[in-house]
Structure 1
């Protein structure tokens, strides 16, 4: 009978030890490792956005002025073969 009680207490202490290790492991990860990973991810995203903005900016010398216009297509208006229907409001 005493052997059963000793084994029960030993298993209970093992279980408490495992729970404590998991608890403090999660606390350690959430306090130290997780913020480092988030900071690294944020810095990586900022760098990608800066690279993307630099690629979109045209390579012109400072002070140069250029005017860019969208090409107008005059044929588009002449190809419109639809009729205009005037609607009247009926009371």
Structure 2
């Protein structure tokens, strides 16, 4: 009977030890490894976006001036929205 209780206690302590290792392992991963992985991923994404932006910008010689606009933009802004009525506040 004493042997059974001793073996039961050894198994119980071993189970608690394994649970503690898992708990502290998860704490370590969530505190130190996840932020580093997320930071590395964000830097890679930012670098890719900057590279895409550089590729989309046209190469122009220094000092060249260009005016870029959308064709047909003025037509949309000149719609007749009615007439303006000035009013005074009455007390």
Q: TM-score, normalization: structure 1?
A: 0.71
Deviations 1:17-49 (A, max 9, x none): 000000000000011111100000000000000
Measured in 1, the distance between the counterparts of 2:12 and 2:67 equals 80
Q: Counterpart of 2:41? A: 41
How many residues matched? 70
Please give the residue correspondences for 1:5-16 in structure 2 after superposition, counting only pairs within 5 Å: 5-16=5-16
Provide the aligned C-alpha RMSD in A.
1.5
- Structure 1 residue ranges (4+ consecutive) displaced by more than 3 angstroms after TM superposition: 66-70
Distance 1:51 1:26, change over 3 A: same
Tell me by how many angstroms 1:58 deviates. Answer: 0.3
Give deviations 1:51-81, integer Å, cap 9, x for gaps.
Answer: 00000000111221346799xxxxxxxxxxx
TM-score (normalizing by structure 2):
0.71
Runs of at least 5 residues in structure 1 that lack an aligned partner in the other structure? 71-91
